[in-house]
Structure 1
Amino acid sequence: MTRRRYPLGIQTFEKIRKDDMLYIDKTQYIYNMSHADSKYFFLSRPRRFGKSLLVSTMLSYFEGKKDLFNGLAMETLETEWIDYPVLHFSMAGGKHMDKEQLKRYLLFVLKIQEDKYGIVNDDVDPNIRLSKLVMAVYEKTGRQVVVLIDEYDAPLLDVAHEDEDLKVLRDIMRNFYSPLKDCDPYLRFVFLTGITKFSQLSIFSELNNVSNISMKDEYAGVCGITKDELLTNMQEGISELAQANNLTHDEVVAKLTENYDGYHFSAASPDIFNPFSLLSCFSNKDFESYWFASGTPTYLINMLKKFDVLPANLGKMYAKSSAFDAPTENMKTITPLLYQSGYITIKDYDKMSQLYTLDLPNKEIKVGLFESLLPNYLDGIYAEQGDVTIAKMSVLIRQNDMDGALRLLQTFLGTVPYCNVTNYEGHYQQMLFVIFTLLTHFVVDVEVHTPKGRVDIVMLTNERLYIIELKLNHDADTALRQINLKDYAERFALCGKPISKVGINFDSKVGNISDWKIEYNSLMDV
């Protein structure tokens, strides 16, 4: 029997079903929404998480295409199969536009829907066109209209860090969506997807009756692939991946979990795998960082700069429930945006205090995010060369050759332009933190507290624990002396591994390591 093809890059439900591609059944969720008390829904999920496929599935459902749902949950749930008129808008093409371009784009997507129903309208105001379109379709078909809007926030993401441009484009989009409330008598169902939540004070100010299901337990698995779905529907892919990589079934599941699992979209969410990365891994039979390779998170990097977020702080975070309701443009911290974008996820929830614990979901995100941050410390092509250097450093450190790794790093940093030179010691600490984190096999932390002070960097490998102290415009002896005087190694005496002390000095005149010293035979070594 031939294996079902994976629908990589294919977001059309009808094509997937007609071509007998792999489809993870999400139709139960659609039935639940379509028969709920509310008829206005909003879902936030990270990019490439299956939002467009979900919308496409809704399109086929509301158009009454019963045959496409054979063998799916919807086949046994739905009994009426009414063919509703559907207005399907995607805002994905509205990126990188100014005010006038965005207005023209909205008129363009409206005309596509007008042509579908043979409606002529020359109004130049998108919101008036939308209102008239809904009413005209209702009159023409005699049935309430379904409105599906995919990636509603796409025109706003690239200007989320620019207050002036964001306000102008946000107002255009708010005016465009505003008729949906007044058209309520003519509407059967309205569904919007996006990444961010430009909330009650902005985009949705006119749509205050929208049910936000983004963090509802009952909809946590509506996008993405759960662990149960992986083990139930993708056993053949697991077997092929095991054979291609000379791994056992359980080893493949463990590597898939390490790389692509770990997402939670509500307090009681099941484990969710990134669907794009998972399917790409099965198709290519290799464990790579597919999600990051599919697009650079430009808007996120810009927002990290806006909020002065240090790489070392991209890990465990805490947020109250109310933080997730903050409009994107009024955020006081970047935490909600990091969550909505998929770069951190829910790891725990305390119901009494309504406090969420969040962290990086998996290895793919950790590596990809820090690779995206590396150019902030190493310009242009030097960042690409840095990836090779980091890979070589990883090999040397796994061979317990920290001296060789630092020599390699010193040689590489000698190629970085002087424009990266700074007199701020924290700059070099963060740069080393990013580099050491990208070694991928090791656990790295900064500013680790001890009874007598704080260690600049602590790195735990499979074989050894490194205590690293940095100095700027001093010498390596000074750095090593601080480790010994404050007895930093005592703090880690119970780690169960040999402890090495590393003193590193940076010279701000050249922006490079000037010297280093390593004590491999600490009294704590075992």
Structure 2
Amino acid sequence: MSKLYPIGIQNFEDLRKKDYIYVDKTALIYQLISTGKYYFLSRPRRFGKSLLISTLEAYFSGKRELFAGLEMEKLEKDWIEYPVLHLDLNTQKYDSVEKLEGILNDALCRWEDIYGSRESETSLSLRFQGIIRRAAEKTGHNTVILIDEYDKPMLQAIGNPELQTEYRNTLKAFYGALKSCDGYIQFAMLTGVTKFGKVSVFSDLNNLMDISMINRFSEICGITEEELHRYFDDDIHTLAEKLGTGYEETCARLKLNYDGYHFSFKSPGMYNPFS
């Protein structure tokens, strides 16, 4: 039976249930969750950030069955179900402050339907803090916060300094809930394409560990050369036959087109699945 390639699929549960090929990163993910609490990861677009966030969501939701046959199954013994707040800012168009506030409000409303609300929580950041606390109190387990493409609104306003400043102020207060609610948080991760400077949304989040250029996590997104041959070698041979080139030349062409990313001085070259 030929392998199913998850083209465009970024949802870990969907990928695993439908038996798409998955390059197993769960040993690194286990190391991530076992050694820290607050993380930031920057990677180029189409590099697997959303799949990483989705995998973390499945893990913290206690969905053990999705990890059958993966390294995580051997490593994790407890499989606790935590409340997970997953915010994906990747798919929207941010052309006004109202649009950003509307998207944040929609997420908060969904979470308040589950964990309740208070009249005194009159701002987006106060509502977010309240949800984090109530989710922990209601379930008996601290809250997990996963934010994908945290910087998308500011990147879309890169040519409009006034709008970007407004976005920055809104998001700085919103993300500041992570620091205010430390005692109620089990784990938090933000991903994005860029890291804005200390004067921006991160200025209050000095508890975030930036793993973007740390060697031990350099392979957490993308595909190493070893993984390329472990998971795809049969298909590389098939590709070589279709192209009428030898195996070695085909590997060289794949390397030329998809390899070249390095995320620390010691990291191997990482293949991007898309470019």
Q: TM-score range by the shorter chain?
A: over 0.9
Greater relative contact order (CA < 8 Å, ≥ 6 in sequence): 2
How do residues 130-209 of structure 1 correspond to structure 2 at under 5 angstroms? 130-209=128-207
C-alpha distance in 2 between matches for 1:106 and 1:5:
35
> Which residue of the partner structure matches residue 76 of structure 2?
78
Amino acid of the residue matched to residue 125 of structure 2? N
- Structure 2: unaligned runs, 5 residues or longer: none
Residue deviations 1:432-459 (CA, integer Å, cap 9, x gap):
xxxxxxxxxxxxxxxxxxxxxxxxxxxx
Q: Are the counterparts in 1 of residues 117 and 127 from structure 2 also a CA contact under 8 Å? A: no
- The Cα shift of 1:239 comes to 2.0
% same residue: 45
- The Cα shift of 1:165 comes to 1.9
Q: Does 1:254 align with 2:252?
A: yes
Q: Are the counterparts in 2 of residues 3 and 236 from structure 1 also a CA contact under 8 Å? A: no
Q: Are the counterparts in 2 of residues 220 and 266 from structure 1 also a CA contact under 8 Å? A: yes
- The Cα shift of 1:83 comes to 1.0
Q: Are the counterparts in 2 of residues 224 and 273 from structure 1 also a CA contact under 8 Å? A: yes
Amino acid of the residue matched to residue 11 of structure 1? Q
- The Cα shift of 1:244 comes to 1.8
- The Cα shift of 1:108 comes to 0.8
Amino acid of the residue matched to residue 165 of structure 1? L
Q: Does 1:63 align with 2:89?
A: no
Q: Does 1:34 align with 2:9?
A: no
> Which residue of the partner structure matches residue 15 of structure 1?
14
Q: Are the counterparts in 1 of residues 60 and 144 from structure 2 also a CA contact under 8 Å? A: yes
Give runs of ≥4 in structure 1 deviating > 6 Å. Answer: none
How do residues 103-502 of structure 1 correspond to structure 2 at under 5 angstroms? 103-115=101-113, 117-120=114-117, 123-275=121-273, 277=274, 291=275
Tell me, what secondary structure is at the counterpart of 1:206? coil
Which structure has the greater CA radius of gyration?
1
Tell me, what secondary structure is at the counterpart of 1:168? helix
Q: CA 1:113 to 1:93, structure 2 compared with 1: closer, same or farther past 3 Å?
A: farther
Tell me, what secondary structure is at the counterpart of 2:91? helix
C-alpha distance in 2 between matches for 1:207 and 1:91:
19
Amino acid of the residue matched to residue 24 of structure 1? V
C-alpha distance in 1 between matches for 2:111 and 2:241:
48
Residue deviations 1:8-62 (CA, integer Å, cap 9, x gap):
11001111111111000111111111111x3100000001000000000001111
- Structure 1: unaligned runs, 5 residues or longer: 278-290, 292-526
C-alpha distance in 2 between matches for 1:234 and 1:112:
40
Residue deviations 1:306-335 (CA, integer Å, cap 9, x gap):
xxxxxxxxxxxxxxxxxxxxxxxxxxxxxx
What is the root-mean-square deviation of aligned Cα atoms in Å? 1.4
Tell me, what secondary structure is at the counterpart of 2:213? coil
C-alpha distance in 1 between matches for 2:93 and 2:265:
32
Q: Are the counterparts in 2 of residues 200 and 208 from structure 1 also a CA contact under 8 Å? A: no
Tell me, what secondary structure is at the counterpart of 2:221? coil
C-alpha distance in 1 between matches for 2:118 and 2:241:
59
C-alpha distance in 1 between matches for 2:118 and 2:45:
33
- Greater fraction of residues in strand: 1
C-alpha distance in 2 between matches for 1:269 and 1:128:
41
Structure 2-normalised TM-score?
0.96
Q: Are the counterparts in 1 of residues 224 and 271 from structure 2 also a CA contact under 8 Å? A: yes
> Which residue of the partner structure matches residue 417 of structure 1?
none
Tell me, what secondary structure is at the counterpart of 1:92? coil
